[in-house]
Amino acid sequence: MNPERTLGEFEQIVLLAVLRLGDAAYGVTILDEIAAKTGRNPAPGALYTTLHRMEDKGLVTFRDGNPTPERGGRAKRFVVVTREGRTALASAQSAYQSLLQGLDLLDAKLFGGAYA
Amino acid sequence: MPESISSANISRTAPAEWLLARVAGPDRAAAIMGDLEELAATRGRLWFWIAYARTLITLGWRTPVAFVAGSAGFFLMMSFFSTLLRNPGPNRTAHMASVDILANAAVLSTGFLLVFSVSVWFATPFAILRFGFRDRMAQLYGVFFLLAAPLFFHSNPVSLVCALLTLAVIFAALFSKPWRRPMVVIASMSIAVLVSLVACNDLATKIYHPKFHLKAGLDAASADPIAFNLVSWLVVRLTFAVALLIASFACSRLHRWLLEERPALIGGANA
């Protein structure tokens, strides 16, 4: 895998949600976590597209759980971030941190005093 | 949830899961359906079906759109091809009559490029839309498309140079590790396109009419109103569409088998 691979914004959000959830990360809990922490309600299709793309890139893998009745007898598919996924996420986050360094986003001078 | 209710849901959504499995694979489809079932417990059945439809479109739009684009490319190539057959150009006709080695090589290279074009003009738009331009196979197809396109300029030297360059790219890809597998898929795809076209053409000949053949369809595309036969025209296009459908299925399967290397499951990649 290319260590310089860039991640999209939604990919970073999904990876962070998966890391926060730990062993309990699967479709439903990831959607809930994203909604709770970001206020966004992503469509399930958008989440699955992103997860499948990241699986193809080797950023996440899946682990099958046990079938449950509330899922119509289907197994949960838990998401696990791979080492490559963590590296890519750390790289993307450090880029944000570098850009933010020395900036105070709530500083009124940045807005020309308009929001003072 | 009572067991009887979940069983009823499974039988009701089994065809939907089967359809989703065609675009996402059986494992992914089962997990997605399970997630949607779980969410539907609090959001309702209407939400379930709307979310299912949106997920199906989000995951599956690429294949039908890629197929339509590939078919458009193929039929465009066929119309160029029929124009070339009717009007080979003075330069080419003169050379065909001679015994010049270079002229014969040009005729051979034109034939080679024409045969190769049959799959390239279909597969290039198909591969770029289906797998994205970052895909190595799509990139190779892009190169082959650019090399095969000048064929219709009616120039023997250009055809000869393009055929030689195409062969050079094929051999270079076969001897380069990252490009070998994409090249194998392209070679298999070219064979699949040609075989399915010939097979469907033969089948249509037997089923539709013994006089049905490729030339009837090409004549149908001509400006001559006497030669135009709507039924032949439709049958030829339907036959080609079925053949291309088989080829696109073969391409997707080959791509999955040879080029989509999944990372090792837990314990391997994440160790």
Query: Could you read off the pLDDT of B70-96 as tens digits, one per residue?
Result: 989 888 887 877 777 666 655 555 555
Give percent of chain B above pLDDT 70: 76
Three-class SS of residue B25?
Answer: coil
Q: Is the pLDDT of residue A64 over 80?
A: yes
Chain A neighbours among B 158-187 (CB < 8 Å)?
A: none
The confidence band for A63, taking pLDDT boundaries of 50, 70 and 90, is very high
The answer to whether position B45 is within a domain reads yes
Same domain, B76 and B23: no
The CA distance from B89 to A76, in Å, is: 64
Q: What is the pLDDT of residues B129-163, one digit of tens each?
A: 988 888 899 999 999 999 988 877 777 788 888 88
- Name the residue among B9, B265, B266 with its Cβ closest to that of A72: B9
CATH number of the domain that A88 lies in? Answer: 1.10.10.10
Tell me which chain A residues have a C-beta less than 8 angstroms from the C-beta of B36. 44
The CA distance from B34 to B28, in Å, is: 10
DSSP B177-230: HHHHHHHHHHHHHHHHHHHHHHHHHHHHHHHT-TT--HHHHHHHTSS-TTT--H
Instruction: Give the count of beta carbons closer than 10 Å to the beta carbon of residue A78.
Output: 21
* Chosen domain end from B37, B60, B83: B60
User: Smallest CA–CA separation between A105 and chain B, in Å?
Assistant: 36
Same domain, B97 and B123: yes
Residue B253, token pair as written in the block: 């399967």
User: Smallest CA–CA separation between B35 and chain A, in Å?
Assistant: 6
The CA distance from A102 to B92, in Å, is: 69
Q: Is the pLDDT of residue A40 over 50?
A: yes
- Lookup result for tokens 């070998």: B180
The CA distance from B216 to B54, in Å, is: 43
* Chosen domain end from B60, B83, B99: B60
Mean pLDDT of chain B: 78
Confidence at residue A61, expressed as pLDDT on a 0 to 100 scale = 93
User: Smallest CA–CA separation between B8 and chain A, in Å?
Assistant: 9
Alpha-helical runs (H) found in chain B: 3-24, 26-43, 45-60, 62-86, 90-97, 101-131, 136-148, 156-174, 177-207, 214-220, 230-258
- Lookup result for tokens 């003075």: B90
What pTM value is reported for the model? 0.70
Q: Which domain holds residue A96?
A: 9-111
Same domain, B78 and B34: no
Tell me which chain A residues have a C-beta less than 8 angstroms from the C-beta of B33. 72, 74
Contact B122, B75 (CB under 8 A): no
Confidence at residue B36, expressed as pLDDT on a 0 to 100 scale = 93
Question: How many structural domains compose chain B?
Answer: 2
DSSP A55-113: HHHTSEEEEEEEEEGGGTTEEEEEEEE-HHHHHHHHHHHHHHHHHHTT--TT-GGGGTT
The answer to whether position A2 is within a domain reads no
Which amino acid, residue B2? P
Confidence at residue B271, expressed as pLDDT on a 0 to 100 scale = 30
Same domain, B112 and B191: yes
Same domain, B54 and B172: no
The answer to whether position B264 is within a domain reads no
> Which value, in Å, is the radius of gyration of the alpha carbons in chain A?
17
Confidence at residue A27, expressed as pLDDT on a 0 to 100 scale = 93
Q: What is the pLDDT of residues B108-137, one digit of tens each?
A: 877 888 888 888 988 999 999 988 888 899
The CA distance from A105 to A82, in Å, is: 33
Instruction: Give the count of beta carbons closer than 10 Å to the beta carbon of residue A35.
Output: 13
Asked if B262 and A56 come within 8 Å (Cβ–Cβ), the reply is yes
- Name the residue among A46, A48, A68 with its Cβ closest to that of B32: A48
Higher pLDDT residue, B1 or A98?
A: A98
Chain A contact for B231 (CB, 8 A cutoff): no
**A74-88, A89-103, B194-208: least confidently modelled range:** B194-208
Q: Which domain holds residue B111?
A: 62-258
Chain A contact for B135 (CB, 8 A cutoff): no
Question: How many structural domains compose chain A?
Answer: 1
Same domain, B31 and B113: no
Confidence at residue B218, expressed as pLDDT on a 0 to 100 scale = 53
Chain A contact for B222 (CB, 8 A cutoff): no
Candidates A23, A61, A70, A74: best to mutate against B (most CBs of B within 10 A) is A74
What region does B222 belong to: left with phi over 0, alpha with psi -120 to 50, or beta?
A: beta
**A83-92, B9-18, B22-31: least confidently modelled range:** B9-18
